[in-house]
Amino acid sequence: TTDSGGIATTSASTANGTAGVYNVDITVSGVPGSSAFTLTNYAVYVDPVNGNDGNTCITALASCRTINAAITKSSNGTTIYLSEGIHTSTSSFVATINKNVVFIGGWSNSFTTQTGQTILDGQNTRGGIRVNPGITTTLSNIIVQNGNTSLGAGVYNEGTLTLENTTLQKGYTDQGAGI
């Protein structure tokens, strides 16, 4: 946004969608000088075996244990990398998505190679995924299974959802066992 004095501001910027720290130098035609700042693009990592929700979760070595903790530590536009294995939760859904984030599953525990799929398991006691109203999200290389809620046992979607190489299986509910 540019104010009446010609000062442009933004609350969020991304450099290129790739996690890392970038040094940015801005110049404006017709204005003397420049401005330099650091821009950080975050990726967030989740490993249900080796992670800890008290970690920063922004490196593979300091990953979160749960998906909901990773979402809390994310901002809109963040990519959340999920290691292989079974991800569970004690919340009403294994993942309640309330930010515009992308989930990419199937990563090795070191997050160096994509070797398979990630399993989100509702353990027949909670839903798999809930996408809140107004949220846009993508799930890739994920299996959602054993969800059990009154609506949307696998995925309860009130937003915009894209599924890529994702399977919904073994959901139990009166309405919408898959989505």
Query: Dihedral angle at the C-alpha atoms of 57, 11, 94, 112, nearest 10 degrees?
Result: -40
φ, ψ of residue 62 in degrees (nearest 5):
-125, 50
Could you tell me the pLDDT band of residue 68, with boundaries at 50, 70 and 90? very high
Q: Residue 126, SS3?
A: coil
Measured over the CA atoms of residue 151, residue 153, residue 156 and residue 162, the dihedral's sign is negative
Mean pLDDT of 155-164: 93
Q: Is a pLDDT exceeding 90 seen at residue 86?
A: yes
Residue 67: which H helix or E strand, with range?
Answer: helix 67-73
Question: For the segment 105-124, what is each residue's pLDDT rounded down to a tens digit?
Answer: 999 989 999 988 899 999 99
Question: For the segment 126-144, what is each residue's pLDDT rounded down to a tens digit?
Answer: 988 999 999 999 999 999 9
